[in-house]
């Protein structure tokens, strides 16, 4: 990794994710995003929420994190403590044809939040994508109360938000309806471009 793309905070270091880190990343993401899914369920109601996340949100989200972290076209990094514990992670992708860098997922373990680690990961991600010559960087998040900390973070590091809304109605019975709401597939990333599929990486 180029030297200019490395970042540190006291007793922590950002390094590429390895297979050994994966389950720790999955575990911290579920803890970090639990308030997000609680917010979604409150807004949507249990019936629609249950249709969107089958068999349930933790299993759906864990599969999404594993898929995004291991994608062939992704770069995944962890923020590790001095003793090797994984405190946060970020997943990056890029579209060279559009000169677009994408922060697909980002999260910090609740025990390590409010220490500047989310901002450190964001600044690292932005610099990493800039170093690769990309002209535009995208990160998405929800407009619900559960994503308020993410919106504040992204705006604090210079991102401009484009408000978008997803609407759902339960049209079939639970036994036949299948779907998923945004935090799983992008993570927390969601579209800042109307043409991109909804994804919610979270924080």
Looking from the CA of 89 toward its CB, the CA atoms found within 13 Å total 33
For residue 57, whether the previous peptide bond is cis, meaning omega lies within 30 degrees of 0, is no
Domain of residue 88 covers 3-184
Q: Is residue 199 part of a domain?
A: no
Q: How far apart are CA 15 and CA 84, in angstroms?
A: 11
CATH number for position 52: 3.40.630.30
Q: Is residue 189 part of a domain?
A: no
Q: Specify the number of domains making up the chain.
A: 1
pLDDT (tens place) for every residue of the chain, 203 residues total: 444 444 544 578 999 999 999 999 999 999 999 999 999 999 999 999 999 988 899 999 999 999 999 999 999 999 998 888 999 999 999 999 999 999 999 999 999 999 999 999 999 999 999 999 999 999 999 998 989 999 999 999 999 999 889 999 988 755 444 444 444 334 333 333 333 333 444 44
Q: Is residue 40 part of a domain?
A: yes
Q: Which residues of 82-106 are buried (b: 16+ CB within 10 A; e: fewer)?
A: eeeebbbbbbbbbeeeeebbbbbbb
End-to-end, the C-alpha distance of the chain in Å comes to: 24
Q: Is residue 201 part of a domain?
A: no
Q: Is residue 45 part of a domain?
A: yes
Beta bridge partners of 106: 90
Q: Is residue 190 part of a domain?
A: no
């Amino acid at each position: 990794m180029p030297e200019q793309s490395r970042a540190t905070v006291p007793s922590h270091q950002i390094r590429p994710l390895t297979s050994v880190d994966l389950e720790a990343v999955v575990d911290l993401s579920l803890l970090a995003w639990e308030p997000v899914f609680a917010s979604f369920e409150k807004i949507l109601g249990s019936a629609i929420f249950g249709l969107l996340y089958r068999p349930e949100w933790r299993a759906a989200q864990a599969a999404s994190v594993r898929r995004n972290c291991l994608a062939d076209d992704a770069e995944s990094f962890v923020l590790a403590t001095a003793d090797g514990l994984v405190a946060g992670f970020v997943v990056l992708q890029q579209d060279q044809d559009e000169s677009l860098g994408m922060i697909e997922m980002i999260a910090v373990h609740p025990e390590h939040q409010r220490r500047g680690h989310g901002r450190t990961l964001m600044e690292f991600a932005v610099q990493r994508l800039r170093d690769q010559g990309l002209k535009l960087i995208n990160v998405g998040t929800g407009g619900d109360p559960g994503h308020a900390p993410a919106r504040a973070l992204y705006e604090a590091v210079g991102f401009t938000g484009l408000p978008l809304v997803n609407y759902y109605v339960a049209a079939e019975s639970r036994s036949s309806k299948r779907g998923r709401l945004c935090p799983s597939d992008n993570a927390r990333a969601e579209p800042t471009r109307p043409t991109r599929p909804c994804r919610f990486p979270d924080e």
